[in-house]
Amino acid sequence: MIDRFHKFSYFPGCSLATTAKENNRSLHIFFERHDITLNELDDWNCCGSSSAHSVDHDLADWLPTRNLSLAPIGSPLLVACPNCYHRLKLSHMMLANSETARQQYEAMWGRAFDPDLEIVTFFELISEMADKGAFKDHKTGLKGLKVAPYYGCMLSRPPAMRHEKNFYGLMEKLLTSLGAETLRWNSSSRCCGTMLTASRPDIASRTIENIISEAECAKAECIVTACAMCHMNLEIRSKLPGKTPIFHFSELLSLSLGIGSGMGWFRRHLIDPRPLLRSKRLIP
């Protein structure tokens, strides 16, 4: 894929555009360093988040279609948020499988449906970059950091998407190659509770405190996730005394290139990761 493309259309999604701006910045900077340009879709809209599919089937199917119609032909669409990826992919599959839906799409957005649009996750791109040796030069960038990789539900998917690629183990593989020590632990794919953090904080807190205690039991110094929603939930919903810092995967990748301190994004964490990074001499 990256042999063919150095330009991607880019769908950040609401979380990365707002609450998790720092993750968005680190993603952009990281890819720029690797000569990959991300062109944000012009005037994109929310994919429906975790609510549309819960309460309104039509909006869950159709909100993402407007974004698909905004994607320029010929370059793949990179989706940063795992949940948005599912929503966009499912809508694309719906259109690919139904002539009636395609007609409706064309009437609605005034352009032909592109069955060949590649919708790519952040993980897929990183994995290809790793296979091409893109990270060889920053081998010791995360030396000594003990990390619990947390996937949450990002790799779970509906049966209709069963044949998509799976990237379980990618964080372990990459972080190890960058000098970090990754730990095996029990809760790496336990869902963080997404919207329950707002509507049933009691359930969310208990779930999240369990997840964090498991990481602490495995002697993790920090947890890394690739989802902005998980990142936020893990930071705000734990009252445990341990205060284990939480990173977005893109932040650690950037840090391994020496980018991070001075960018201001560690300061925006609710659990300050700087003392840990200083103690490992990863930032000044």
The binding site for other proteins (CB under 8 A) comprises 14, 17-21, 43-46, 48-60, 62-63, 66, 86, 97, 108-109, 152-153, 155-160, 162, 189-191, 193-196, 198-201, 203, 207, 232, 236-237, 268-270
**23 CA to centre of own chain:** 9
Length of the chain: 284
Asked if 254 contacts 260 with a C-beta cutoff of 8 angstroms, the reply is yes
Looking at residue 254, its amino acid is S
- Considering Cα of 60, then 64, then 69, then 75, what sign does the dihedral take? negative
**Could you tell me the smallest distance in angstroms from the CB atom of residue 37 to other proteins?**
22
Would you say 3 or 42 has its CB closer to other proteins? Answer: 42
**Could you tell me the smallest distance in angstroms from the CB atom of residue 136 to other proteins?**
33
Would you say 51 or 103 has its CB closer to other proteins? Answer: 51
Would you say 176 or 213 has its CB closer to other proteins? Answer: 213
Asked if 190 contacts 211 with a C-beta cutoff of 8 angstroms, the reply is yes
**Could you tell me the smallest distance in angstroms from the CB atom of residue 191 to other proteins?**
4
Tokens of 50: 């975790």
**Could you tell me the smallest distance in angstroms from the CB atom of residue 2 to other proteins?**
28
Would you say 34 or 269 has its CB closer to other proteins? Answer: 269
Neighbour count for residue 112 (Cβ, 10 Å)? 11
Would you say 178 or 196 has its CB closer to other proteins? Answer: 196
**Could you tell me the smallest distance in angstroms from the CB atom of residue 248 to other proteins?**
13
Would you say 86 or 92 has its CB closer to other proteins? Answer: 86
Would you say 196 or 226 has its CB closer to other proteins? Answer: 196
Closest CA to 61 of 14, 17, 108: 108
**Could you tell me the smallest distance in angstroms from the CB atom of residue 46 to other proteins?**
5
Would you say 120 or 229 has its CB closer to other proteins? Answer: 229
The strand pair at 119-121 and 77-79 is best described as: parallel
**Could you tell me the smallest distance in angstroms from the CB atom of residue 64 to other proteins?**
10
**Could you tell me the smallest distance in angstroms from the CB atom of residue 1 to other proteins?**
25
